[in-house]
């Protein structure tokens, strides 16, 4: 039995050492080879003075070194922090400083962009660079090593310094909140393994599966492709695609049986011409609702593939799924609780809602994470006991209150209604409006700014930026867009910028009335799509 996340690979290597674990471009690694590389890098990390619960960040595209680094950190009793490869230098630096990253693994190309901001990351002691050495890194006050040198560091096997159990921290995944900077969600080994066990159970994953990994490994949905596959001894094909057709080609060439994606990608894939026969056994969707027309088209194109519609949140990974036999009956449902989780629909006082009454989705069980890194206030706001659940316990069980409004029908199926906060969700990414507003408010001639989310037929929501300038005609939207592109990843860029001479609307508390702004722009993209 695996208690620690890296043991998923170790134990599979013991059972089926020659089975293929990873494929990336022309490279193929067996479970034995992958386990050996993880062991070598784990030993090197400990030689580099990494101790239990130290943080190791990995800022790479999907590739074998990325996977090895993540699981080697686990094997060294450390905590891995996968960083979204789409993030800009300032955002990466924020994460490195927020959780005091001690070791950063990145590529020489990415490092060039990071150099100006790394000088302020005072906890950073070691850089491990995949690729060629670049001279500029000598300016940094930290140790610099090449990946190939790290693989040869462990000349003799060393004893692991610290005992680790499944309650220990394994990972920190950063996700945007409705206010301020991204929050680091702390996941234990048990969280990750319980998630893999639950998903593998309802997807019926097995050693013959070949899973195509197209989602970022910093996304819990993407990381799950690895843990689920390694649990059952399946193969993972890592892919950084340029065009949707690249995915279709990879499915055929690699005989892929499982494919996970978010709604905008499914929309693109549904517009392609698929071969009459496909190896796909199942497809999954999360990160937003899949449009009915997209779902219908995919089922025509892939009649043999079972469709699993899912809902989750980083704070508890996965909460619900809709079984394939219910897709025709209730395609707008997010389903029922995944194995080993209980999903409640509660009123603000903690009492349970009646059938079809709207309430907050609350998740209890082994997948509930350990809160937010170094943020007691936000943790207490989102992670709370459920009134009446084992009330006599001295230390009550903590559940995660999602902030999502849902309803449950008389048959127990759940339906998503909306967010209870100002969070914007674009193509599966949770985006803080405040993070965008803080950036734009620093630009010249911006007097006041609000970022809101409005319905979008492809991405679920789109970002609308509303700006009041200090004087009329002082804002050049094209210049503003270019400046935002320098600081924000593509998914955080607004789809529409509105400049108004009027004061932004206020609610009775004097705050910007986001709800009113959302009503004003509610039909902006819906009407365009019709």
Residue 360, φ and ψ in degrees, nearest 5: -85, 135
C-alpha to C-alpha distances, 86 to 63, 110, 118, nearest whole angstrom: 15, 11, 17
Q: What confidence score (pLDDT) does residue 178 get?
A: 55
pTM higher than 0.75 for the full model? yes
3-state helix, strand, coil in the chain (%, to 5): 30, 25, 40
Cα atoms in the 13 Å half-sphere on the side-chain side of 14: 8
Q: First-to-last CA distance in the chain?
A: 53
Q: What confidence score (pLDDT) does residue 177 get?
A: 60
Domains, the chain, in order of start with CATH, read 7-166 (3.40.50.980), 426-529 (3.30.300.30)
Give the start-end residues of each E strand in 18-139: 20-24, 27-30, 55-59, 79-82, 103-107, 126-130
- Percent of the chain scored above 70 by pLDDT? 95
Digit-coded pLDDT (tens) for 7-53: 999 999 999 999 999 999 989 999 999 999 999 999 999 999 999 99
**Tally: H helices and E strands in the chain:** 16, 26
Which H, E and C letters describe 273-312, residue by residue? CCCCCCCCCEEEECCCCCCHHHHHHHHHHCCCCEEEEEEC
Q: What is the pLDDT along the chain (530 residues), one digit of tens a residue?
A: 889 999 999 999 999 999 999 999 989 999 999 999 999 999 999 999 999 999 999 999 999 999 999 999 999 999 999 999 999 999 999 999 999 999 999 999 999 899 999 989 999 999 999 987 666 666 778 899 999 999 988 755 555 567 899 999 999 999 876 556 889 999 999 999 999 999 999 999 999 999 999 999 999 999 999 999 999 999 999 999 989 999 999 999 999 999 999 888 998 999 999 999 999 999 999 988 887 888 999 999 999 999 999 999 999 999 999 999 999 999 989 999 999 999 999 998 999 999 999 999 999 999 999 999 999 999 999 999 998 776 677 788 999 999 999 999 999 999 988 777 778 889 888 888 878 988 898 888 888 889 999 999 888 899 999 998 987 788 899 999 999 999 999 999 999 999 998 888 877 666 678 888 999 999 988 765 55
Distance separating alpha carbons of residues 174 and 192, to the nearest angstrom = 15
Q: What confidence score (pLDDT) does residue 176 get?
A: 74
Q: What confidence score (pLDDT) does residue 264 get?
A: 81
């Amino acid at each position: 039995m695996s208690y620690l996340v890296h043991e998923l690979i170790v134990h599979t290597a013991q059972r089926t050492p020659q089975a293929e674990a990873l494929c990336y471009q022309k490279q193929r690694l067996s479970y034995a080879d992958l386990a050996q590389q993880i062991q070598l890098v784990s030993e090197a990390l400990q030689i580099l003075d990494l101790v239990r619960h130290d943080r190791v960040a990995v800022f790479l595209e999907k590739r074998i070194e990325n996977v090895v680094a993540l699981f080697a950190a686990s094997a060294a009793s450390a905590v891995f922090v996968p960083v979204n490869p789409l993030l800009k230098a300032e955002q990466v630096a924020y994460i490195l400083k927020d959780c005091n990253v001690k070791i950063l693994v990145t590529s020489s190309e990415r490092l060039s962009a990071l150099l100006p901001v790394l000088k302020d990351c005072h906890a950073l002691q070691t850089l491990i660079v995949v690729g060629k050495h670049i001279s500029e890194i000598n300016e940094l006050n930290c140790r610099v090593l090449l990946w190939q040198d790290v693989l040869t560091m462990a000349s003799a096997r060393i004893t692991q310094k610290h005992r680790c159990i499944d309650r220990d921290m394994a990972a920190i995944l950063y996700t945007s909140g409705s206010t301020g900077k991204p929050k680091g969600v702390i996941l234990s080994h048990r969280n990750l393994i319980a998630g893999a066990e639950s998903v593998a159970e309802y997807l019926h994953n097995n050693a013959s599966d070949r899973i195509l990994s197209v989602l970022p490994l910093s996304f819990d949905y993407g990381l799950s492709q690895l843990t689920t596959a390694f649990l059952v001894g399946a193969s993972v094909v890592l892919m950084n695609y340029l065009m949707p057709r690249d995915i279709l080609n990879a499915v055929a060439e690699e005989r892929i049986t499982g494919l996970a994606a978010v709604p905008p990608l499914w929309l693109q894939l549904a517009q392609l011409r698929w071969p009459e026969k496909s190896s796909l056994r199942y497809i999954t969707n999360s990160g937003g609702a899949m449009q009915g027309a997209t779902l219908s088209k995919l089922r025509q194109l892939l009649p043999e593939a079972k469709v699993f519609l899912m809902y989750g949140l980083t704070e508890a990974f996965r909460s619900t799924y809709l079984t394939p036999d219910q897709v025709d009956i209730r395609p707008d449902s997010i389903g029922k609780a995944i194995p080993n989780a209980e999903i409640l629909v509660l009123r603000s006082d903690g009492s349970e809602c009646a059938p079809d009454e709207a309430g907050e989705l609350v998740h209890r069980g082994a997948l509930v994470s350990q809160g937010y890194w170094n943020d007691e206030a936000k943790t207490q706001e989102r992670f709370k006991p459920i009134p009446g659940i084992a009330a006599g316990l001295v230390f009550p069980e903590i559940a995660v209150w999602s902030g999502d409004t849902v309803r449950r029908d008389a048959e127990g199926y759940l339906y998503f209604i909306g967010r209870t906060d100002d969070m914007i969700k674009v193509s599966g990414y949770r985006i803080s409006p405040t993070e965008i507003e803080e950036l734009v408010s620093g630009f010249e001639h911006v007097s006041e700014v609000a970022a809101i989310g409005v319905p979008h037929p492809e991405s679920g929501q789109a970002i609308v930026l509303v700006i009041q300038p200090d004087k009329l005609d002082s804002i050049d939207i094209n210049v503003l867009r270019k400046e935002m592109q320098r600081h924000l990843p593509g998914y955080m860029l607004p789809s529409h910028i509105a400049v108004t001479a009027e004061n932004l609307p206020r609610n009775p508390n004097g705050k910007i009335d986001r709800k009113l702004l959302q009503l004003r722009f509610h039909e902006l993209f819906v009407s365009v799509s019709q």
